[in-house]
Structure 1
Amino acid sequence: MDQRIYDHAEVLVDWSARVEEGDNVVVRVDEGAHDLAVAVAEKLGERGANYLTTYVSDEVQSAFVRSHDGDFDQDPDFETEMLERADSVLSLRAKRNTAAKAAIPGEKRSAYRKSRSGIREVRMDSDWVSTIHPTRALAQQAGMDYREYQDFVYDAVLRDWEALADQMANMKDLLDEGSEVRIVKEDTDLTMSIEGRTAVNSAASVAYDSHNLPSGEVFTAPENPEGEVYFDVPMTHNGERIQGVHLTFEEGAVVDWSAETGEQALTDILETDEGAKRLGELGIGMNRGINRFTDSILFDEKMGDTIHLAVGRAYSSCLPEGEEGNESAVHVDMITDMSDDSRMEIDGEVVQRNGTFRWEDGFEE
């Protein structure tokens, strides 16, 4: 087996999840993640942890949701109890068919997602980490040869995370001290408040309150967005392609929207519930090891030349104690490319221009 798979498992267990002896670990294994699951199980055994694997399949889920009458059980106790006893939940994502959920009707998809909101919150109360194992389907989605895609994934995952965390601390400090962010580029002029928020230095470890591997972003929970924003980076959501998204915000909520491709899928997202029309996240990509778009949000949103905004649920880690942020059954990230003729300001000061941060070589005032 490729040595990089064992290296990936080691980063996941040691750096990302910080698994300790005696921890109860649930490992959610996607259809194509068998090899990574074997390597992870070996590492968990070395740590003296307890483990339970569950099988995850978009095709299986699609069959269940499509055949169901739509009145889904709210948070089945057996799954909730399992997750409540877990110290860590590791999700090994490895799709064999990126369009396996495409045939699920939008209303059933929304109903199923809402029914699992409590399960999602229980899982997120654990030291959860989600990672990705390269498959041929994901390589095809990314427009790459399989070997090329493997190299791409491991270049993003097997990094000096401690050094990157130190670099990203610059952006965290700016966001923590700032009050307002403005994003400006073609078809985009959006302002939002970050007053009193705490940014997360997402360095691919629960020790940094970061839960994705790879990571490499700094994010916070904005509120009261005003203006318009254009997302030019394509995405696949629940098996449906969405591209060229334009959102208009007034008084903190989306009041108008369009998409060049997948407009009905976008509408389904925004009409999930009231919170789906409000922002839950502002994220700034800072992982220079990711150098191309691959139609995978896990990678694309981390690119150093991008900013992403998520409609829906806000992360409590960014909020003052006792304050409830935006609530929704969805959290859907959309990305805009900041590499050309663009800028991001914090309290009127340009901190990123044309994809370059002010502490990097080549930054232009």
Structure 2
Amino acid sequence: MRDPRVTELARLLVRYSMEVTSGDKVMIDLFGERDELVRALIDEIGQAGGQPVVQVNNDALLRRQLLVATEEHMDFLARHDLDRMKEMDCYVAIRGQENINELADVPADKMKLYTERYSRVVHNERVNNTRWVVLRYPNPSMAQLAGTSTEAFEDFFYQVCTVDYQRMDRALDPLVKRMEEAEEVRITGPGTDLTFSIKGMPAIKCAGKANIPDGEVFTAPVRQSVNGVITYNTASVYQGTTFEKIRFEFEDGKIVKATANETEKLNQILDTDEGARYIGEFSLGINPDIHHPMLDTLFDEKINGSFHFTPGRAYAECDNGNQSAIHWDIVNIQRPDYGGGEIYFDGERIRKDGRFTVSDLEPLNPENLRA
């Protein structure tokens, strides 16, 4: 018998996140081996009159392909998968890999081929021309990263993934307004003193339409306005490597110095192309039930009291002109248990130690979003 929580999640993805209607072609992109949600999605898409298209991925086999990859090979794969993606109206990715470090030993030049000549091409079509949503799926590996039992992680997963996103959507409106009216942002905290402009940039609220779990508002800094230093206090997995103690120094928008536990590999990523050393996204996380990092961006970037500051490509909805094959969401948590910190819009403090301190934004503090 199917877990009713799986059915509830599938219904949310099909009816709310993607809004599948009759005749829609919906790609279900599975990463990992657990297919319970895929089966539930096929049923829900069929009931909505859509046409499910299932694709199954294996990172171990992808690694083998990348080790022998050539430009011609990546261009062929990109053309093939791009043509298929162009046929899709909706897209849902279910990511439940058993080993998040499967690509860690792929040489940097091969990863660059993959990100520039394949991922960037197919990703742009998917993001810009489908109604898409991306989520993880619980497995023992994810539970281990979260430091919990598998059963406890599954309970946590369904709790944070099926919150009242319509309520959250309404509560985010005042933050959108403030971000779109602000000109200068300043962020301070341990090892961090950063200033940048968001003048004229749109702010996009995220409440279950594109990511599950969700809960953020993002914008982008004016490309050459970022100055100062940021020290991230959460680890981040990117291209199969776990990075810790990441620190960036900025001059006129560009990362001019970058260090971490893996400084050489960090700088190889930032040297992928010119845009990788500029910032494409600034976002505030507000999910009331996600408190601690677990080396999974889709969860970590929604942590209440956090923000992320993203080297690489800007999203089309909030385009500051920065183009890159890289888009790397790295998270900083500003609650007192992570060292605290403050965020200012045009000199007014709007958040201190992870809590919103102005009356119109107080409904976004965790106890109010849960009410």
1:163 counterpart residue number: 167
Alignment of 1:186-335 (within 5 A): 186-205=190-209, 211-223=210-222, 224-259=225-260, 261-319=261-319, 325-335=321-331
| Deviation by residue 1:42-69 (Cα, 9 ceiling, x = unmatched) | 1011111012111122111111001234
Q: Which blocks of at least 5 consecutive residues in structure 2 are unaligned?
A: 366-371
Q: Which blocks of at least 5 consecutive residues in structure 1 are unaligned?
A: 206-210
Worse-superposed segment, 63-72 or 19-28 = 63-72
Corresponding residue to 1:115 among 111, 117, 129: 117
Identity %: 28
How big is the shift at 1:76?
A: 3.1
Matched letter for residue 87 of structure 1: D
Tell me whether 1:357 sits opposite 2:356 in the alignment: yes
| Maintained 8 Å contact 2:14/2:41 | yes
Tell me whether 1:345 sits opposite 2:344 in the alignment: yes
| Maintained 8 Å contact 1:181/1:194 | yes
- The structure-2 alpha-carbon separation of the partners of 1:362 and 1:64, relative to structure 1 and needing over 3 Å to count, comes to closer
Tell me whether 1:4 sits opposite 2:8 in the alignment: no
* Aligned counterparts of 2:270 and 2:211: Cα–Cα separation in 1: 24
* Aligned counterparts of 1:226 and 1:56: Cα–Cα separation in 2: 40
Matched letter for residue 138 of structure 2: P
| Maintained 8 Å contact 1:316/1:325 | no
After TM superposition, the score normalised by the length of structure 1 is 0.93
**Alignment partner of 2:234: what SS?**
coil
Worse-superposed segment, 168-177 or 67-76 = 67-76
Worse-superposed segment, 304-313 or 1-10 = 1-10
After TM superposition, the score normalised by the length of structure 2 is 0.92
**Alignment partner of 2:159: what SS?**
helix
Tell me whether 1:183 sits opposite 2:187 in the alignment: yes
Corresponding residue to 1:104 among 106, 109, 114: 106
* Aligned counterparts of 1:105 and 1:351: Cα–Cα separation in 2: 43
Matched letter for residue 356 of structure 2: F
**Alignment partner of 1:333: what SS?**
coil
**Alignment partner of 1:244: what SS?**
coil
How big is the shift at 1:265?
A: 2.9
| Deviation by residue 1:257-309 (Cα, 9 ceiling, x = unmatched) | 101x2223311221110000000000100111212221111011101110101
* Aligned counterparts of 1:284 and 1:232: Cα–Cα separation in 2: 15
Matched letter for residue 12 of structure 2: V
Alignment of 1:72-83 (within 5 A): 72-74=73-75, 76-83=78-85
Tell me whether 1:86 sits opposite 2:88 in the alignment: yes
1:208 counterpart residue number: none
* Aligned counterparts of 1:226 and 1:288: Cα–Cα separation in 2: 31
- The structure-2 alpha-carbon separation of the partners of 1:342 and 1:76, relative to structure 1 and needing over 3 Å to count, comes to closer
Alignment of 1:36-75 (within 5 A): 36-69=37-70, 72-74=73-75
| Maintained 8 Å contact 2:303/2:333 | no
How big is the shift at 1:171?
A: 1.2
Matched letter for residue 204 of structure 1: G
How big is the shift at 1:310?
A: 0.6
How big is the shift at 1:213?
A: 1.0
| Deviation by residue 1:170-225 (Cα, 9 ceiling, x = unmatched) | 211110111111100111010111011110011111xxxxx111110000011221
How big is the shift at 1:71?
A: 5.0
* Aligned counterparts of 1:73 and 1:104: Cα–Cα separation in 2: 15
Matched letter for residue 324 of structure 2: S
Q: Which runs of 4+ in 1 moved over 6 A?
A: none
| Maintained 8 Å contact 1:9/1:36 | yes
1:134 counterpart residue number: 138
Q: CA RMSD in A?
A: 1.6
| Maintained 8 Å contact 2:171/2:363 | no
| Maintained 8 Å contact 1:155/1:290 | no
How big is the shift at 1:252?
A: 0.9
Aligned residues: 353
Greater helix proportion = 2
2:14 counterpart residue number: 13
| Maintained 8 Å contact 2:14/2:20 | yes
- The structure-2 alpha-carbon separation of the partners of 1:361 and 1:201, relative to structure 1 and needing over 3 Å to count, comes to closer
| Deviation by residue 1:223-277 (Cα, 9 ceiling, x = unmatched) | 2211000101011122211010110000110000101x22233112211100000
**Alignment partner of 1:350: what SS?**
strand
Matched letter for residue 24 of structure 1: K
**Alignment partner of 1:331: what SS?**
coil
